[in-house]
Amino acid sequence: MRVLVVTNLTPDEAAPGRGAFVRDQIEALRRAGVEIELYSFPVGRPAYPRAVARIRRILRRQSFDLVHAHYGLAGWCAALAGARPLVVTFHGTDVRHRVAGPLSRRLVRRTELAAGVSRGLFEPDAGRPGLPQPPGRSAVLPCGVDLERFRPVHRAEARARLGLDPDGRYLLFPAAPGRAEKRHDRAAEVARLAGAELLVGGGIAADGMPDWVNAASAVLITSEYEGFGLVAVEALGCDVPVLSTPVGIAPTLLAGIDGCLAAPFEVGGWSALARAHLDVAEARVAGRSRAAWFGTESMAERVLVAYRELLDDPSNT
């Protein structure tokens, strides 16, 4: 099977970890025997016309069994270039954004398979509609987490590599502070009340993120919404406690794990639990077996099944 993967979830200097989960899925599919060519282009409006032209040239020169686009606007580029059959995975912001959201919902009609990274993306949220769910042409296909990369490492070891104080009190807010929907203000207040320094993501390369997770006593996910919430899986892969609002996969993922929280934000309760973890030299939770539910290999297998079912349907050839 030959697949062209198209995405604008492309790393750059400002966001060196952007789209790492897409690349992890690609590598897992390659290990499963799928031949994949990746076309990745930058974010930003000027890149889209060039991407359409480039994808069109690739499709003219090479033969693929299907095209798989990640993110709605990348899917539009593939559709306008004539990609068919076309699979599009929607990741969250492309569904909820005031501009990209309507475009993503329109794109569903032009795909052979519309995939959301969670079931919630097909449902309304805070007055915003979800993706259409045409019978037989939709699926839930998360990307998954590379659990070989996200694994427990002794906290002192991770802090030494990062140049952090071995005795410091650290919490991790694993997103760019400027992304309003992630609610950095909430995480900062929890850290203040818990007597901790708040480490922030956004500028961390994919290969470096496991050390930042392992260096923290807990990971704070204070978001208004998440398409899926892979960072919670990453933290559990490291056996690091997670405090999360009930967004994305968090309610299912964290249920029943002592030391973790999936609940509406309430600064008093959150800061008390964070403080309890900070007061322990090596706070850990039994999370890795739960994270395995959403490992890269098992999620890639779901994608491969979807590919095969799509290609077995004669209407898509």
Note whether residue 227 is domain-resident: yes
Note whether residue 149 is domain-resident: no
Position 317 scores a pLDDT of 64
Q: Are residues 102 and 213 in the same domain?
A: no
Q: Are residues 7 and 137 in the same domain?
A: yes
> If you write DSSP's letter for every residue of 189-235 in order, what string do you get?
HHHHHHT-EEEE-SS--GGGHHHHHHHSS-EEE--S--SS-HHHHHH
Angle, helix 296-312 to helix 20-31, in steps of 10 degrees: 70
Note whether residue 173 is domain-resident: yes
Q: Specify the amino acid at residue 265.
A: F
Q: Are residues 129 and 180 in the same domain?
A: no
Residue-number span of the structural domain to which 211 is assigned:
155-293
Q: Write the CA distances from 71 to 79, 97, 218, 293, integer angstroms.
A: 12, 12, 29, 23
The answer to whether the beta carbons of residues 24 and 18 sit under 8 Å apart is no
Rounded distance, CA 65 to CA 3, Å? Answer: 6
For 177-205, write each residue's pLDDT tens digit: 999 999 999 999 999 999 999 999 988 88
Beta bridge partners, 138, equal 114
Q: Are residues 33 and 76 in the same domain?
A: yes
Q: Are residues 271 and 303 in the same domain?
A: no
Position 200 scores a pLDDT of 96
- Looking at the chain, the whole-number percentage of residues with pLDDT higher than 70 is 100
Q: How buried is 248 (Cβ within 10 angstroms: 0-12 exposed, 13-18 middle, 19+ buried)?
A: buried
Q: Are residues 181 and 250 in the same domain?
A: yes
Return the CATH number at 218: 3.40.50.2000
Q: Are residues 165 and 127 in the same domain?
A: no
Those residues of the chain that have pLDDT short of 70 are 317
Q: Are residues 178 and 311 in the same domain?
A: no
Position 233 scores a pLDDT of 97
Q: Are residues 169 and 113 in the same domain?
A: no
